[in-house]
Amino acid sequence: MSDGAPVLEVENLNVSRSGDLVIEGANFRIDRKDYVGVVGPNGGGKTTLLLAILGMLPKQSGTIRLFGEPTESFTGWEKVAYVSQNAINFDPSFPLTVKELVGLGRVNRRNLGRRLGREDWDEVEKAMQLMGMTDISERRVGELSGGQKQRAFVAKALVRNPEMIFLDEPVAGVDASTQEKFYQKMSDLNSKKGITILIVSHDLAAVFCRMSKVICVNREVNVSEITPGEDPNKILRKAYGEHFHFVYHDHKCEGEF
Amino acid sequence: MIQLVAASLLDLLGYQFFQYALIGGTIATLACAWIGLFLVLRKEAMIVDGVAHTAFGGIAIGLFLGVAPLIPALAVSVLAVLAITYMRRKGLAQSDSAIAVMLALGFSTGLIVISLAGGFNVELFSYLFGSILTISQADLILITGLSIFIIAFMTVFYKELLAITFDEGSSRLTGIPVEALALAFNLMVAVTIVVTIKIIGIILVVALVVIPALSALQFRLSFRKTMLASIIIGVVSMISGLFLSAIYNVATSGVIVFVALGFFLALAAYNRLR
């Protein structure tokens, strides 16, 4: 649960891609320790919103502040980690072991031109342990299953000890039981380590069962607190349209996960 | 027979030209292997061929003006890399087209300059096809100095180069100077080409850079071990190629590349069959 300190503030944000307005007038804030689901139809602008926040796509107008600083002058990027939707679609013949991949997460502008030290490799061990990858640390990433690859990339993101992590559809194409384990792990990171987490997901049940806030994106951006017992359809129809109906049993959350 | 061959191989080692060839060839191969694996993984292997052909213009200018040809070749290669980078960033041309433009510019300049200078001569052929056995002491010093510079750069920025080769986007997010490093790397490619031209020739430079890396990738190892395998394959191809060409009295650069190709074919076949 959040502790009220804003880590992400978005004001009047407009973002265009190839001339079309994809995000229009977004206004919202995310507080520290929030666990946020980003939902909405395909092509609605979820990934665009994330990329704009991370400064990887230019915004048309508006303000984005991370940890109180406008992103243009933000210098604390090591506090922020991001796992892209396409992370696992790399060339499978790329010669890289899990350990080497996670090690890359320790590379940043402050250790430019220096070798990773013992402290770095200790963090690599910890991150691999956290994501249950220790046994396969010497395996090549290209040879892993989809779920294992995802966990390896999350370990790479976590190895920097970020305060905030953005995950773009981290469990797409992974079987249901692996997805459940993944969301469980993320819940633990959020509650035990206090990491603010934003996950783009199509798994609405996981979002409403586990997370504290939901961002609905379909050109417009609406942010709602998730209150147990409340009908999620009220929130979801803002993004998916009036005829959308999500069958959801609140009481099932505990049992399902 | 074997004793005779062994004795003649030992004899070879006594000749200064052969010692220079061994030392220069090995050092240049180390630089090529370091650069080559990154290039193959960045899917930019053909920049080597393009820039090497552009360097031909520099060689011709050097021969025309009567200065050491590798110096203008280095200048032209560096300019070619800068121009390719500029064209890509400004959206003037895609990577492969930008390389094609520079190749055309360099090679056609070379042809014009040569015709002005009175046509092709033996020295020009030695740059086109390589002449490792005629490396002078000055060449050796240049090759060694530049190779040490390349290897030092690659060693210092090893982890950053691996990071941007694997994923440019997320490297940018962590504050790694992606553009600057990519440009510096491409400049190292230009230097590597110039180092290797005298040894293997303009036309086959790309083979010495790319084939050891491609062969090493067949082992499916970690990045570190793949790099090591690539270096070993490169050096073994160079040294055995040198000796084989001396024994059978055939073109040295051809034999070196043939040995490297042999490694690649054998490892690729092994990889398919296992």
What pLDDT, in 10s, does the model give residues B55-79?
999 999 998 898 888 899 999 999 9
Contact A82 B173 (CB under 8 A): yes
Residue B160 vs residue A177, higher pLDDT: B160
Which CATH number belongs to the domain containing residue B186 in this structure?
1.10.3470.10
CA distance B25 to A185: 53
Query: Which of B158, B222, B227 to mutate to test binding with chain A, by most A CBs within 10 Å of its CB?
Result: B222
CA distance A170 to A147: 9
- C-alpha B268, offset from chain centre: 22
Cβ neighbours, 10 Å, residue B126? 18
Which pLDDT belongs to residue A257?
A: 38
Across A119-219, the runs of DSSP E, i.e. the strands, are 164-168, 196-200, 213-218
**Non-local CB neighbours of B232 within 8 Å, separated by 6+ positions:** none
CA distance A128 to B129: 50
Contact A112 B160 (CB under 8 A): yes
> Shortest Cα distance from B117 to chain A (angstroms)?
46
CA angle, corner B223, sides to B240 and B156, nearest 5?
90
Q: Indicate the helix (H) or strand (E) that contains A11.
A: strand A6-17
Which whole number is the average pLDDT over B32-52?
93
Residue B217 vs residue B11, higher pLDDT: B217
Residue with tokens 């505990």: A254
- The total number of structural domains that make up chain B: 1
Q: What is the ipTM of this complex?
A: 0.88
Comparing alpha-carbon positions, the chain B residue that sits nearest to A78 is B174
Q: Of A227-241, B43-57, B147-161, B252-266, where does mean pLDDT reach its minimum? A: A227-241
Q: Is A23 helix (H, G, I), strand (E, B) or coil?
A: strand
Q: Indicate the helix (H) or strand (E) that contains B238.
A: helix B223-248
The CATH number, out of the four listed (3.40.50.11540, 3.40.50.300, 3.30.450.20, 3.40.50.720), of the domain defined by the range A6-88+165-256:
3.40.50.300
Q: Is B229 helix (H, G, I), strand (E, B) or coil?
A: helix
- Whether B174 and chain A come into contact, CB under 8 Å, resolves to yes
Q: Which of A170, A197, A198 is nearest to A182 (CA)?
A: A170
Residue A93: phi and psi, rounded to 5, are: -90, 0
Which pLDDT belongs to residue A256?
A: 42
- Helix %, strand %, coil % of chain B (to 5): 85, 0, 15
Query: Which of A96, A136, A149 to mutate to test binding with chain B, by most B CBs within 10 Å of its CB?
Result: A96
Which whole number is the average pLDDT over B18-37?
94
Which whole number is the average pLDDT over A229-248?
73
Mean model confidence pLDDT for chain B: 91
pLDDT, tens only, A175-229? 788 788 888 888 888 998 899 999 998 888 888 888 889 898 988 888 888 777 7
CA distance A89 to A74: 29
Q: Is A214 helix (H, G, I), strand (E, B) or coil?
A: strand
Which pLDDT belongs to residue A254?
A: 54
Which whole number is the average pLDDT over A237-255?
66
Q: Which of B159, B174, B223 sits opposite A96 (nearest CB)?
A: B223
- Whether B169 and chain A come into contact, CB under 8 Å, resolves to yes
Q: Of A67-76, B157-166, B208-217, where does mean pLDDT reach its minimum? A: A67-76
Which pLDDT belongs to residue A255?
A: 44
Give the predicted TM-score (pTM) of the model.
0.87
Residue with tokens 């062994």: B6
Q: Which of B166, B169, B176 sits opposite A96 (nearest CB)?
A: B166
Comparing alpha-carbon positions, the chain A residue that sits nearest to B37 is A95
Q: Indicate the helix (H) or strand (E) that contains A89.
A: none
Contact B166 A54 (CB under 8 A): no
Q: Which of B156, B167, B176 sits opposite A108 (nearest CB)?
A: B176
Q: Indicate the helix (H) or strand (E) that contains A218.
A: strand A213-218
> Shortest Cα distance from A92 to chain B (angstroms)?
10
B252, B208 contact by CB (below 8 A): no
* Residue A148: both structure tokens together: 């294992």
* Residue B47: both structure tokens together: 């920049």
- Listed by start position, the domains of chain A span 6-88+165-256
Does residue A63 carry a pLDDT above 60? yes
Does residue B8 carry a pLDDT above 80? no
Interface of B with A in 216-235 (CB under 8 A): 217, 220-226
CA distance A20 to B255: 58
Residue A4 vs residue B190, higher pLDDT: B190
Does residue A135 carry a pLDDT above 60? yes
- Whether B179 and chain A come into contact, CB under 8 Å, resolves to no
Which pLDDT belongs to residue A249?
A: 62
Q: Of A201-205, A253-257, B87-91, B127-131, where does mean pLDDT reach its minimum? A: A253-257
Q: The domain containing residue B231 runs over which residues?
A: 2-273
Which pLDDT belongs to residue A252?
A: 54
* Residue A82: both structure tokens together: 């991001």
Does residue B21 carry a pLDDT above 90? yes
> Shortest Cα distance from A123 to chain B (angstroms)?
16
> Using the 8-state DSSP alphabet, how is residue A137 labeled?
T
**Non-local CB neighbours of B7 within 8 Å, separated by 6+ positions:** none
Q: Which of B171, B174, B223 sits opposite A100 (nearest CB)?
A: B223
End-to-end CA distance of chain A: 19
Which pLDDT belongs to residue A234?
A: 73
Residue B4 vs residue B138, higher pLDDT: B138
Contact B173 A109 (CB under 8 A): no
A78, A160 contact by CB (below 8 A): yes
Which pLDDT belongs to residue B272?
A: 86
How far CA A30 is from CA of A64, A148, A211, in Å, comes to 11, 29, 13
Which pLDDT belongs to residue A222?
A: 85
Which pLDDT belongs to residue A212?
A: 87
Q: Which of A94, A101, A109 sits opposite B176 (nearest CB)?
A: A109
Q: Pick the most confident of A95-99, A213-217, B168-172.
A: A95-99
Residue with tokens 């040995």: B259
Instruction: Give all strands of the β-sheet with A196-200 in edge-to-edge order.
Output: A80-83, A164-168, A196-200, A35-39, A213-218, A220-225
B251, B201 contact by CB (below 8 A): no
Percent of chain B exceeding pLDDT 90 equals 68
Q: Taking an 8 Å Cβ-Cβ cutoff, which residues of chain A contact chain B?
A: 54-56, 77-78, 80, 82, 84, 87, 90-91, 93-97, 100-101, 103-104, 107-110, 112-113, 115-116, 138, 140, 143, 160
Which pLDDT belongs to residue A248?
A: 67
Contact A104 B163 (CB under 8 A): yes
